[in-house]
Structure 1
Amino acid sequence: MRHNHGLSPDRDTVVGRELLVRAEDVQGLHGFEAAADARTYLSGELFTRDVTGALSPLLEAAPDVRVHDTI
């Protein structure tokens, strides 16, 4: 499932966004040009306020955030 929530013009480093919906959880999968871009996004206001903040009423625990780098 593709989503566009939280997209803004300054997020041109985001290559792709997908939601993986499973019975046990929902995962937001984001693609970036580089791992550093992902870390910048995760520490920015867009993620901390708009994404995590907006979803906090729906979360049973703190989000499990991981950055994976591919070769």
Structure 2
Amino acid sequence: MNIKSEEEWAERAAAFLKHKLKDTEVTYGELAKRLRKHGLKETEASITNKLARGTFPATFFLACIAALELEGVALEEI
């Protein structure tokens, strides 16, 4: 893994979440509902904006992993 910029990290994190959402067939609306169970108050629109922009806090990223019930995520996957 040879990531050289903050922007590249952001792009990879957003791409990872989009890929996992597609794999698990979870919509942005469903993700918003699941995130509420993990203490985040997100809407479908706010999730759309975060993933389109490619920037979001680590708390959002980690909560998404928990909400999607992903286990054993390796850095190489991101």
Say whether the fold is shared (TM-score over 0.5).
no
Higher relative contact order (CA 8 A, sep 6+): 2
TM-score (norm 1): 0.32
TM-score (norm 2): 0.30
Q: Greater share of strand residues, 1 or 2?
A: 1
